[in-house]
Amino acid sequence: MGLDYSYTQPSESEDYGLRGSADSGNSSTEMYIQLDQAQIEAARHQYPPQPEVEFGFPKECYCGGEPLVATSYTRTDPGRRFYTCKNKQDGDCHVYKWWDVAATEEIKALGAQVTLLTDKVDSLSFVGYEETELRELKEVQFDMEQKLVRLESIVCDLGRKKSRFGYGFELVVGVLVVVLVIIAIGVAARM
């Protein structure tokens, strides 16, 4: 049986075919890690999207500069206008938006504002209609009050005159006056 089953630990100095250890600085894995860390660090310095750039005509670039209108000379979009920034060569995040897209967004926003203003005008004209109705009702109420005053004066005049019917006629006229007053109040309340 003479087989030797002994085992020895490898030394720290042996390479075992890894072609460069992590300590040497030449490892491709270490290079990828450094590249990923650089991308993460670059992402931390990007400017957040600003609402005035995201919708409609941009008023300010992400970097704080003023947007410029330029013309595209590419094969796919020749002559198409777009917003850009004068600082676009520095590698940071800058505004880039097609002019026609920005114009369409602005037109849609104006359309929504026109709709809101139209609704307000309609509601104001309805209020004007209610005011006209109220004024007419007040005129009707005033006319009814005038008629009531005339009717009361007629009844008083008839009461002063001696009639051949006596108190019975005055009672009938008084009841008629009360009925007319109740009718007038009911008509005024409905309006």
In a domain, 179, yes or no: yes
In a domain, 123, yes or no: no
Assess whether 137 and 185 both reside in one domain: yes
Of 37, 71, 95, which closes a domain? 95
**Going by C-beta distance under 8 Å and a sequence separation of 6 or more, which residues neighbour residue 177?**
151, 152, 155
**Going by C-beta distance under 8 Å and a sequence separation of 6 or more, which residues neighbour residue 144?**
184, 187, 188
Assess whether 33 and 78 both reside in one domain: yes
In a domain, 119, yes or no: no
Q: Tens of pLDDT along 72-111? A: 999 998 988 888 988 888 877 788 888 888 888 888 888 8
Instruction: Give the residue numbers spanning the domain of 172.
Output: 130-190
Alpha carbon distance 70, 94 (integer Å): 14
In a domain, 118, yes or no: no
Q: Which residues of the chain have pLDDT under 70?
A: 1-26, 42-53, 127-128, 158-169, 191
Number of domains in the chain: 2
Assess whether 33 and 91 both reside in one domain: yes
Angle at 112 between CA 111 and CA 116, to 5 degrees: 115
